Amino acid sequence: MHIEFGSQIRKVLVIGLGQLGLPVAKYVKERGFETFGYDINPGRMEDAEKSFGIKSIDKFDEIDVFILCVSTHDPNDEYTPFVDGLFSLAQKISREAKNGSLVSIESTIPKGTSKKIFELLNHRLHVAHAPHRWYSLEEDIHGVNQVRVIGGVSDCCLKVALQFYDSGNEALEFDDDTITKNTSNSRRITSLGIPMHPVSEIEIAELTKIIENADRYMQIAFSEDLYLYCQANNVNFSELRDSLNTKWNVNILEPRDGVGGHCLPKDTKMFLQSSKSIKSKILMAAMEVDNDYRRFREMRGYRMVPSAINNHK
């Protein structure tokens, strides 16, 4: 199975039009692709159409690229990983999509998920994983087009995905059914123009995302640990932190209300669950520290700020 960029990539469907999927769809449309949206929540599709002219679609047979941005937490517990929605979506794509299209998973997923999706697609479509680093509070600098890691289930999946995403690709132009470079009377189409960091195994891409969030979790937990130490030993935490951070390679964070948002706990769990034999002791300790810190705050009756504000990026 082989897909040449340009001759086929025109119609892009973003699935999951939530906090992440909506700016992704908007960006893809701005780059000149014919962009569609799909969400199990009809209200999300209406909003996307009204706000950004993203057309809704139910049938998947003409789509060249599927970008999956669906949630990957348990609907009843936002801290628990859950990929069943992604798998049922893969089954729908498998039934309806044409051969050779690209399925790019941008949601955060546990190690091994991309290959399971490739199986569900009966090896008929290309599968890549390009996890997001999008950050809602600093969308201008940490938005859709910041540097991203990308992996493919096979070399040709990676190649097709890089042609779609990578800022290193030349602009291509198309008229009607053929795409050629620099023809007149043709509409200009480019790649998504995102600087990508390709990796040789798709599991590296899966792990990169969940470990970067686990790393953030650990840094916050260390600041909580220091804070509890200071409370127990009558030391001024703020002054200690300021003084520590005068060193070039030290960056102690603020503990605030504890590890904020649902992504850091969820993704840290995804990483811990990715190994049956050996679990990261330091991360398990970090989770314990976060629990202790939260209990301490509750006992002191501290006001909790909304998690979006406390969302440690």
Ligand X SMILES: NC(=O)c1ccc[n+]([C@@H]2O[C@H](COP(=O)([O-])OP(=O)(O)OC[C@H]3O[C@@H](n4cnc5c(N)ncnc54)[C@H](O)[C@@H]3O)[C@@H](O)[C@H]2O)c1
Query: Could you list the residues that contact ligand X (CB under 6 A)?
Result: 15-21, 39-41, 44, 69-72, 85, 88-89, 107-108, 132, 134, 136, 263
Of 66 and 164, the one with the shorter C-beta distance to ligand X is: 66
Q: How far is the CB of 33 from ligand X (least distance, A)?
A: 19
With tokens 């070399």, the residue in question is 155
Q: How far is the CB of 97 from ligand X (least distance, A)?
A: 14
Of 54 and 70, the one with the shorter C-beta distance to ligand X is: 70
Q: How far is the CB of 72 from ligand X (least distance, A)?
A: 4
Q: How far apart, in Å, are the Cα atoms of 148 and each of 194, 198, 205, 207, 240?
A: 8, 8, 9, 13, 35
Of 107 and 114, the one with the shorter C-beta distance to ligand X is: 107
- Phi, psi at 178, each rounded to 5°: -115, 150
For residue 292, the tally of other CB atoms under 10 A from its CB is: 15
* Best CA proximity match to 90, nearest among 123, 62, 134, 57: 123
Q: How far is the CB of 147 from ligand X (least distance, A)?
A: 14
* Best CA proximity match to 102, nearest among 62, 60, 157: 157
Q: How far apart, in Å, are the Cα atoms of 246 and each of 2, 151, 243, 249, 251?
A: 54, 38, 6, 9, 9
Of 225 and 257, the one with the shorter C-beta distance to ligand X is: 257
Token pair belonging to 180: 């050629």
The residue of the chain with the least Cβ separation from ligand X equals 18
Of 92 and 159, the one with the shorter C-beta distance to ligand X is: 92
Q: How far is the CB of 209 from ligand X (least distance, A)?
A: 7
